[in-house]
Structure 1
């Protein structure tokens, strides 16, 4: 006789994550998932301890999704005994929004009941969030909310969420959303008055629950209480470190902080590295210990691809750290270029190249309004008079204030929501030769942090940046001034990391088409601007790649694309080959090539390409007479960079 097991899935953000995640984090997050397990006509979940209620009757309301996760042959009495033992592990003070939460508990229960696990998209959500700049900035605050070790009897003050969420384009919105999710996640609501016999009741809450409390468990940690959940952990992670412990083991408490520190610094997304504690007296932890011959605590067992490769007994912190490093190195060998000394490349600043020159704004706007006046039959939802009034009364004052010196009065607060319609209306009525002042308006405005953040919220046809970019890649001849200002506008978009990521993901094809044509343009100023944009893209990717290498993270990044990198590197090498006049252009192109190659995940494809393109000889040729100017590249730092890229990164 078997019993069905279901997973109830709730969104703690009530749909706000799906609507606002790109705006706040730069990444689409479908929901902030809370899960519970439903079996034997009861819904069981973890927050302020373990709670039991009738299905769908918790304070979370009706589930967003219900997933059949299989059937169990375990009887209700056995599961009740298991849950009562689990209460010693899943206590209110151990709850952590990212590291030890309702989903940790549900995954453990489903492992016990069915041998399976919760869906990967739920398990990987914390890592997806923490991989964003916003998530990285917010991590310390979340830890302080759920992991503070406040002395007994002293209240833990709530952190300043407005300050902590300043990495978001909308800090106030981010702070309120985080606080709401935290309160929902840590709350159990009132326990069901009809909790079934055999289950320990959850204490009723006399005041709204708060997540600000001391938490003994602060590292990214799995808890395995049965063989099924442990085997699931082995299946879904390349490397696993298992800590066999018990509540009565004094040496275990001595080594536990070292283990937690290792977990905090080395845990990775699902499919990476996992750290788990197995208490021999909790649930079926003893059965896991018996399976691997563990008779004493503390014992550490190291697994690679599900196979035990090493065992360590006793309290030896240095040896534990060494064995963890060896396991991770073996499971995830570092990028081969990390073993090469690259001082010239490492000295390249990853700050974006921005075009901050401010023209005479009155003259620029007069030119634009003059072109508007010259249109005999104006079309569109905004009249010619309205367009001119908005330009003179709103846009021009904003740019003057935004580009003024720091000692000038505070910049006015300007709403931008009508700007897309304004830009679209102007672009549909003017020719490209008359349109570059509009692009220059966007170039200058993107240097304003609020304006750049606002642009992250504009998608598809609502994005003026994408609309203006698309006009620069038409097959017919594009006016020089329009190409130049579009390149500089795109470069300035990299002043905001979230906007940069959005543009790489959504306009990769258009940007590549623009660069392929402009890197070889007859005009040196256009080539310089194109080289700057190419560098900004490479620098943005380099930051993310270095972070992933340091974290030994080989998960797929949607910003990465092997075919795109092949096309970009081919175009850059050809541009270096053709560039004979400007040492600065050669410098930027070489730096771009260096950043793309340094820790590229696609070296298997790129190495033969570099050889076929004769990249080494092309780069070294720039150092010889006539290679770039009469005497070749003269600046010492540029020569060093070219030599380093040619000799150490090119075959």
Structure 2
């Protein structure tokens, strides 16, 4: 018995730990490179398969050593396995995300011990690609390893204009593929014509078992491309299906596709284990168990079987069979307050409040920025309809002035300032800047003050005006999905819940609009990702943070409770319409075994909504309330 160790290195040399939060919004502690140490040699994949004495590679000393157990194989068998794998793990196939050193060590671990490398190493590419930044950089990374076919359109430049990110990627890629001994001159990155991202390559029984255990739906192709013409014919179809219907990191849905080449590694033994007698053969697995098998290169039948597997893995929600015409025709676009006030009048009003407040060393600066920059920007963007967007220096200055004013002015004097921001968040550049600013900058400060004002339960006109304008601002924040996610849980929800029961009807209307926008954002993600609908998620681009927000039931439970109480107390058609629409969006396609539906039974939502059928007067409101009742039956 020989011990098997996994050496783990950080290709970023600490940069990932310090920069990942800034670049991706998620803490990533390293860009992991791994190698297998057994029989006194360290073996790794980069420029092909290389070997050195342990700890003597160009990566230096490992950051961590993981004990993978012991192997019962002898050194000769191990060397024979590596010789077979050299034709598979070649330099030209290397890809930083899809086919790398960790793919190699995971295969080796399965061959030597029957186990696998740690999940935090295996799942790093998925974790990285599930961030908006990672998804945006994916084309850049692919371009580093792809050579376009003749006549193909040029590769688009990377979306994020981040020199530091590009430098980091190049450094990591260079580190990953240095040969065992330092090269005298830099080696250019290798290229490959195509490499399917959703595809897994399996070369031994242990790796295959790990794959089946860790994925819900698996499509396995047993193939012999070197000696089988039909195998080569069906390969492009299989790769296309993997690209279209493969597991998505952002949604966690789709099938995992894997190839087993009978001539590579332990592929022949794996084929024998599964009784493969003809090539190509496809086997379909659900929750680790074989469900069906297809022999031959029948592209149409392969597509049908993949779709059937996905349907079984992600069965349709029961709500897909309900007739809900009023709910189905609801627009999921956010409700926005877009009216433009007389901006000069708003400025005059705000300046008078600044003059009446205790003098601050920032008062003159605030008035100057408002008059010389803010109002001209708002006029250009929203009155003259010029394609003017705010710049970062301008927004930084205005944001700092606004936070100062929120701290020194009485809340009843803040509504002109809040009204300016209500308009400004409709500018994509402004809302994107706010989303990237700590606690949403001035908008977060305004939301916190509105929450505090509502908790005081004051009914004076000044407080009412401030709360009303703040709610409209938060409602408009849903014009930008990133900003809405930043505000949703910490600020918007805490402000929304008490506002739904406010004594003023205009405040309740604004709160109902905000509630609808929050609920509709959940419904849009469910529809875009196919969550709860069964089958494959559509191709809509939805980043992982949107999916996570839609899956977070804690704030949704709080909102369902508040909506139910508000519907019970409300009598106005317009507010009931928005409240019922919000409730329908939260409940439709929500997991039947989740917290939201448990609360529906506890609160007896059906009785509460049914009681409003005779209260509302407008035909469209009656129809929506009727659909909401059918939804909760």
TM superposition score normalised by structure 1: 0.83
1:210-235 C-alpha deviation (Å, 9 max, x unpaired): 47x44343251111111121111122
Name the CA distance, whole Å, in 1 between partners of 2:236 and 2:262. Answer: 19
Contact 1:8/1:35, CA 8 A, preserved across alignment: yes
Correspondence 1:319-398 to 2 at 5 A: 319-376=301-358, 378=360, 383-398=362-377
1:152-174 CA-to-partner distances (Å, cap 9, x unmatched) read: xx7x7762224xx1xxxxx312x
Q: Does 1:159 align with 2:179?
A: no
Structure 2 counterpart SS, 1:463: helix
Q: 1:590 to 1:59 in 2, by over 3 A?
A: farther
Task: Say whether residues 1:120 and 2:104 are aligned partners.
Answer: no
Q: Does 1:589 align with 2:579?
A: yes
The whole-number CA distance in structure 2 between the counterparts of 1:491 and 1:59 is 54
> Matched residues in 1 for 2:102 and 2:260: separation?
18
Q: Give the match for residue 560 of structure 1.
A: 551
Give the secondary-structure state (helix, strand or coil) at the position aligned to 1:218.
coil
* Higher deviation after alignment, 288-297 or 129-138: 129-138
Q: Deviations over 1:464-521 (max 9, x none)?
A: 322221112222135111111211121222222222222235x1xx433322211122
User: Per the alignment, do residues 640 and 367 of structure 1 end up closer, same or farther by CA in structure 2, a change over 3 Å counting?
Assistant: same
CA distance in 2, matches of 1:541, 1:18: 32
1:33 paired residue among 31, 34, 42: 31
Which of 632, 642, 645 is residue 625 of structure 2 equivalent to? 642
Query: Pairwise mapping of residues 214-253 of structure 1 onto structure 2 (< 5 A)?
Result: 214-246=192-224, 247-253=226-232
Question: Following TM superposition, by how much is the alpha carbon of 1:68 offset from its aligned partner in structure 2, in angstroms?
Answer: 4.2
SS across alignment from 1:642: helix
Residue 283 of structure 1 and its aligned partner are, at CA, apart by 0.8
1:133 Cα deviation after fit: 5.5
Q: Write the mapping of 1:70-219 to structure 2, written as runs, cut at 5 A.
A: 70-131=69-130, 146=145, 150-151=149-150, 159-162=155-158, 165=159, 171-173=160-162, 177=165, 180-181=168-169, 184-185=172-173, 188-193=176-181, 209-210=188-189, 213-219=191-197
C-alpha displacement of 1:134: 5.7
Structure 1 counterpart of 2:457: 477
Between the aligned partners of 1:572 and 1:313, the Cα distance in structure 2 is: 54
| Range with bigger deviation, 124-133 or 428-437 | 124-133
Q: Which moved more, 1:318-327 or 1:424-433?
A: 318-327
Deviation at 1:4, TM superposition (A): 3.7
1:596 deviation in Å? 0.9
Q: CA deviation at 1:62?
A: 6.3
Checking the alignment, whether the CA contact within 8 Å between 1:86 and 1:283 is kept in structure 2 is yes
Among 228, 237, 242, the residue aligned to 1:263: 242
CA distance 1:621–1:78, change in 2 (3 Å): same
Structure 1: unaligned runs, 5 residues or longer: 166-170, 195-203
Q: CA deviation at 1:261?
A: 2.4
Matching residue of 1:435: 414
Q: Give the secondary-structure state (helix, strand or coil) at the position aligned to 2:516.
A: helix
SS state at 1:401 partner: helix
User: More displaced, 402-411 or 450-459?
Assistant: 402-411
Whole-angstrom distance in 2 between the partners of 1:377 and 1:123: 59
Q: Judge conservation of contact 1:35–1:106 (CA < 8 Å) in 2.
A: no
Residue by residue over 1:332-376, the C-alpha shift from the partner in whole angstroms, topping out at 9 and shown as x without a partner, is 323222344544433322222222222222222232232222233
CA, structure 1 residues 207+28, in 2 after alignment: closer, same or farther (shift >3 Å)? same
Structure-2 change in CA distance of 1:217 and 1:19 (3 Å): closer
For the structure 1 residues 524 and 434, does the alpha-carbon distance in structure 2 shift closer, same or farther, using more than 3 Å as the test?
same
Moved more, 462-471 or 7-16: 7-16
> Could you tell me how far 1:551 is from its partner in structure 2?
6.8
User: Residues 239 and 327 of structure 1 are in contact (CA less than 8 Å); yes or no, is this contact kept in structure 2?
Assistant: yes
Shift of 1:276: 1.2
Q: Secondary structure at the match of 1:302?
A: strand
Whether the 8 Å contact between 1:244 and 1:277 is mirrored in structure 2 is yes
CA drift of 1:577 comes to: 3.2
CA change 1:315–1:511 in 2 (3 A) is same
Structure 1 segment 393-432 matched on structure 2, within 5 A: 393-407=372-386, 414-432=393-411
CA contact (8 A) 2:8 2:35 kept: yes
Query: What is the SS of the residue equivalent to 2:626?
Result: helix
CA–CA distance in structure 2, aligned partners of residues 65 and 386 of structure 1: 54
- Tell whether 2:514 aligns with 1:536: no
Q: Which segment drifts farther, 278-287 or 47-56?
A: 47-56
Question: CA 1:46 to 1:366, structure 2 compared with 1: closer, same or farther past 3 Å?
Answer: farther
2:284 partner SS: strand
Report how far residue 428 of structure 1 moved.
2.0
Match of 2:260 among 258, 267, 278: 278
Distance 1:433 1:335, change over 3 A: same
1:298 counterpart = 2:280: yes
**Alpha-carbon distance in 2 for matches of 1:410, 1:516:** 33
Contact 2:49 2:89 in 1 (8 A): yes
Structure 2 residue aligned with 1:518? 499
Say if 1:5 and 1:70, in contact at 8 Å, map to a contact too: yes
Q: Against the structure 1 CA distance between its residues 596 and 233, is the aligned structure 2 distance closer, same or farther, given a 3 Å change threshold? A: same
Following the alignment from structure 1 to structure 2, what is the Cα–Cα distance between the partners of residues 591 and 5?
Answer: 57
Q: Where in structure 2 are the equivalents of 1:603-622 lying within 5 Å?
A: 604-607=594-597, 609-611=599-601, 613-622=603-612
TM-score (norm 2): 0.85
- The answer on 1:504 being equivalent to 2:488 is yes
